Amino acid sequence: MVTSDSHGDSASIQNLLRQYADTVTTAVFLGDCVDDFLRFQHLYSDINFVAVAGNCDFSTSVPKERILTLGGRRILLMHGHSHNVKMSYNRLMYYSMEKEVDACLFGHTHMPAMFSHESVFFMNPGSVAIPRMSRASYGLLHLGQDGTIKGELREI
């Protein structure tokens, strides 16, 4: 489960965690009010919680970027503001290729997006609380045993 940009709306995060508690192994938060996400970590011991900080996460020890290895795939997690994703995905795409990752998950724009470029899978789950030009949304990432990476974007 991939979420981002809650901006104080922890109820949306909590509802998604309840909904997927028995089906997801990892819950990812891509920044902007990371505490909305991490506050539920102790309630779901079977789910691996992974988060990165966004441009609105000022006083946190959570890293701004990380590479997560799941099912043998390298997945870059970031908020996206440092790569100017509101203007273009170009810097993000080149950076992901430099990092030699299989997928890149990012937020910041509050608009869901999913695409592939040069064999790298990209997903922005949108915002669970303050969507732009869409409804509140989140993503589901599926890692096949055959190495495939697929995603779903869902509205709340």
Residue 59 sits in a domain of what CATH number? 3.60.21.10
Residue 125 is predicted with a pLDDT of 98
* pLDDT (tens digit per residue) in 98-152: 999 999 999 999 999 999 999 999 999 999 999 998 899 999 999 999 989 999 9
Q: Number of structural domains, the chain?
A: 1
pTM over 0.85: yes
Show the domain range for 63: 2-155
Q: According to the model, what pLDDT value does residue 119 have?
A: 94
| Rounded Cα gap, residues 12 and 147, in angstroms | 31
Q: What is the DSSP string of 23-69?
A: T-SEEEE-SSSTHHHHTTGGG-TTSEEEE---TT--S--S-SEEEEE
